Structure 1
Amino acid sequence: MDDFLAARSQMALSLGFHIIFSCIGMVMPFFMAVSHYKWLKTNDEVYKNVTKAWSKGVAIFFATGAVSGTMLSFELGLLWPKFMEHAGPIFGMPFSLEGTAFFIEAIALGFFLYGWNKLNKWFHWFTGMVVGVSGLASGILVVAANSWMNSPAGFDFENGKYLNIDPIQAMLNKAWFSQALHMCLAAFTATGFAVAGVHALMILRNSNKAFHLNAFKIAAIFACIGALLQPLSGDISAKDVAKRQPAKLAAMEALYKTQKPAPLLIGGIVNEKDSTVKMAIEIPGALSFLAHGDFKSEVKGMDQIPKNEQPPVAITHYAFQTMVGIGTLLLLIALIYFFTLFKKKLLTEKRWLLKMFVLAIPLGYIALEAGWVVTEVGRQPWIIYGIMRTKEAVTPMPGIAYSFYIFSTIYVSLSIVVAFLLYRQIKMVPVLYNKSTTNTPNQ
């Protein structure tokens, strides 16, 4: 493995793990806050127990997210020094603000975890909300930095120099809103289905039904609302990419030839050697409409992109198809769930629906990872789109392959530890909370 591939692989691995830890850490506090609010309003001990159980999960993922995020910060400087040399002064503001949000989140989490029976009950609830809001703000600010890499703004690039720097304009670049919206909804959807699926599994096993039913309903509502809104944010993102990054759109859709109108491909096997796609289902004019809002508009294909600026088509296309396919499946589950609620059916009688949520536990995160593959691989060969190539930013330091192996071991070990802690926490729920949750709710 050469050093350039090792550097890219290490960054991909680090981001792949961190994105899951951070998404859970920024979404779970809202589940926790809703449960806490319900306990304060109803005085139902079940909601108090759910809140306490979820708060321990929030603490676990806050710690792991802090560790993986810190490692990522060092990796940016160690692996991509040329990038940080030029980009640091431009997009440093969102990273600085993200650090502030992180510290607020840490302080609020400390108040919440150790504030039971010590703080005013509503102030205690408020600290939990602060954990969620500051965590969400952290995620949005990091995405703003990434969106700047896809849509550089806030500077003039003249004779290889970065002049007239405007950090505010850089942070609020043209891509930040669409990327932040899509990412936040993806985080709520993925985490919601994962949490709801775990509680659905416990319900199917007849383990402390009152506790798990209440927890399931809160997580499922967040998940299903996110799944319903995600296609709308996806449409906004697609239209934005079509304007700013036509090469990425062409790779996403495996569109090798510029067409007017352009068909939408579903599935298909990409052959990059002869620039063809086989066994795909074509929907005439659909890509033109999704990209430009007009069934007859032209969509630029790879034939209009210089060879040395073309991203890998196969991996981008497969990742995009995976993301969209899973998103469609989760949308279907959400519609079925809301239909069940509308008909006022008992969830305990709909075991098949609970099993669907169990099967969906990993799907949201698979789609999340696939979406980031589309974002990052589809931008190649640029680390700063249209300005700096990824190869120009990599460290000249040799032996990066060994660093990749070490970091891989660390992340795999960290994941094993997190899985063990969560498994132990789930197993302890019946022991810790069974006494006060013996009554099963109607829904």
Structure 2
Amino acid sequence: MPPFPHPAATALRTLASAGDPSQLLPAREQMAFTLGFHIVLVPFGVALTTLMLVANYRGLRHGDDQAMLLAQRWSKVAAVLFAVGAVSGTVLTFELGILWPGLMGKYGAAFGFPFTIEGIFFFLEAIFVSIYIYGWKHLPPWAHFWTGVPVVLSGVGGTASVIAANSWMNQPGGFTLRGGRVVDISPARVFFNGAFWLEAIHMLFAAYIVAGLMVAGVYAVGLLRGRRDRYHRNGFLIGFLVGGAAVPAQIVIGDFIARAVFNDEPRKFAALEMVPATDTHVPETLLGVLIDNRVRYGLQIPDAASLLAGFSPATRITGLGAIPADVRPDGPTVSVVHLAFDIMVGLSFALLALVAWYAWLWWRRREAVPANRWFLGCSAVSGLAALTSLECGWVVTEVGRQPWTVVRVLLTRDAVTTQGNLWPFFAASLAIYTAVGTGAVLVLLSMRRRWHSGGDERVDVPYGGPDRPPAGADPAHAGDPGIAGHTGKTAEGR
């Protein structure tokens, strides 16, 4: 992903310095907006298809037509969001070349390689999404299920490819710069650079958390409104278990990444922890801002930053003052990175508490879906919390890299175009994304209204009619209460 700030940075950033090109601010703001829009869609392209397959398997294995109905509906939602993501991702690709010729012109031979791989995965995903949607009425049940597996794998591969490009910006390698030209490129070292594995795993876990908890939140609202049929219980449980299972692992991976940043990118770590001067026994600052190289309005925990960075209060942390002035991030930039980091971590631990709450409620009553209204209310907003945490994570990695586009190789002010007025281009992008986003929301709302009324689904259960189990399922499980722990007719809840 591009190395530019999220729109949240706009309110706090100062005016561009006199030495910066006039195109730098609009270029960064445009990239911020389009990236911030596109990243919302990524988790659904990666993880919603996994939820779809889980429900599909449940329907085939246990004759659960409500799980099958979920799979069918989620596949249609995934197709809509895939189409929107294709549009927003294509615009991002054009922006890289138009707005940042200093990056693509000199380093495109290396930086562009992961995007070539991503393009292959994208086309595979598009092909198999189409086959899977078509296959609901035209393929045998298990053959149809297996056509969904490449959709999931392509989504994972495509995301990992984009993360390879982004992580290469943090730890560039696999090339030689000779006479101002990139030569001797090693595609494997470009793709599997020093930051790749941790960042790729971190993003994939984030995708599963966001998609899983967003889906669970939708069905939690239905449960709060008294719709405790198997359809809503299945929808909540599949989403919550997939998303919730990734939360503890994500926190562990995040800790490894923070320590890797401490070792490999001391400048970014100083911004994350808002450390003005190099020192030991550095406190952990919660919230706060950096004004005149002093930390203001924050709550400090003595020695905690040093302890977390090196497992010892005596760990020395490089401060912002040790960074050369021409590549030192300014106060507003540091404040944005630090606050985004605090919000990301804080929300992650709040989600971990929600997962622990679910485990405790299950242990006490053995209910797959607890009836506790406070728990369901928190679950209903957990998806929005996860999405906010994801956005803040991208603020941390993109704004935290400033003023570099490629760390220690290319400054952002040297990467931006020097031609034309970019503000009209930015305005056109705003209009396009607003239209596409509005259209997507209207389509999804229309689908929701139709499904809520039961209009076209009563006679459209895949592989079979509404009163019999899916073809190929074990008839003995036709009335199985399934993972929701709910007894009743197989078509209940329509």
* Offset at residue 393 of structure 1 (A): 1.0
Q: What corresponds to 1:238 in structure 2?
A: 258
Q: What corresponds to 2:433 in structure 1?
A: 411
Pairs within 5 Å for 1:72-221: 72-158=92-178, 160-207=180-227, 209-221=229-241
Q: What corresponds to 2:309 in structure 1?
A: 291
Task: Give the distance between the partners of 1:426 and 1:341, measured in 2 at CA.
Answer: 30
Task: Give the distance between the partners of 1:389 and 1:53, measured in 2 at CA.
Answer: 46
1:130-168 CA distance string (max 9 Å, x none) = 111111110011010011011111112355443322121
Task: Give the distance between the partners of 2:178 and 2:302, measured in 1 at CA.
Answer: 43
Larger Rg: 2
Task: Give the distance between the partners of 1:225 and 1:434, measured in 2 at CA.
Answer: 33
* Offset at residue 257 of structure 1 (A): 1.2
Which 10-residue stretch deviates more, 276-285 or 190-199? Answer: 276-285
Tell me which amino acid in the other structure corresponds to 1:387. V
Where in structure 2 are there 5+ consecutive unaligned residues?
1-14, 16-21, 460-465, 468-478, 487-494
Task: Give the distance between the partners of 1:214 and 1:207, measured in 2 at CA.
Answer: 12
Task: Give the distance between the partners of 2:50 and 2:64, measured in 1 at CA.
Answer: 19
Task: Give the distance between the partners of 1:38 and 1:67, measured in 2 at CA.
Answer: 32
Q: What corresponds to 1:442 in structure 2?
A: 485
Alignment of 1:278 with 2:321, yes or no, is: no
* Offset at residue 359 of structure 1 (A): 2.0
| Root mean square deviation of aligned Cα | 2.0
Tell me which amino acid in the other structure corresponds to 1:413. A
Q: Which of the numbers 400, 403, 421 marks the counterpart of 1:381?
A: 403
State the TM-score, normalized to the length of structure 2: 0.85
Q: What corresponds to 1:51 in structure 2?
A: 71
* Offset at residue 59 of structure 1 (A): 0.3
Report the secondary structure of 1:15's partner residue.
helix
Task: Give the distance between the partners of 1:158 and 1:100, measured in 2 at CA.
Answer: 30
* Offset at residue 192 of structure 1 (A): 1.3
Task: Give the distance between the partners of 1:401 and 1:25, measured in 2 at CA.
Answer: 31
* Offset at residue 116 of structure 1 (A): 1.7
Alignment of 1:267 with 2:287, yes or no, is: yes
- Contact 1:252 / 1:317 at 8 angstroms: preserved in 2? yes
Where in structure 1 are there 5+ consecutive unaligned residues?
none
Report the secondary structure of 1:170's partner residue.
helix
Report the secondary structure of 2:286's partner residue.
strand
* Offset at residue 415 of structure 1 (A): 1.6
Distance 1:434 1:289, change over 3 A: farther
State the TM-score, normalized to the length of structure 1: 0.95
Tell me which amino acid in the other structure corresponds to 1:327. S
* Offset at residue 288 of structure 1 (A): 2.0
* Offset at residue 123 of structure 1 (A): 2.1
Task: Give the distance between the partners of 2:449 and 2:357, measured in 1 at CA.
Answer: 29
Task: Give the distance between the partners of 1:258 and 1:413, measured in 2 at CA.
Answer: 48
- Structure with the largest fraction of helix: 1
Task: Give the distance between the partners of 2:370 and 2:259, measured in 1 at CA.
Answer: 42
Q: Which has the higher contact order (CA 8 A, sep 6+)?
A: 2
1:251-289 CA distance string (max 9 Å, x none) = 111111112122211222x133x2111232222332223
Task: Give the distance between the partners of 1:52 and 1:130, measured in 2 at CA.
Answer: 17
- Contact 2:237 / 2:368 at 8 angstroms: preserved in 1? no
* Offset at residue 124 of structure 1 (A): 1.1
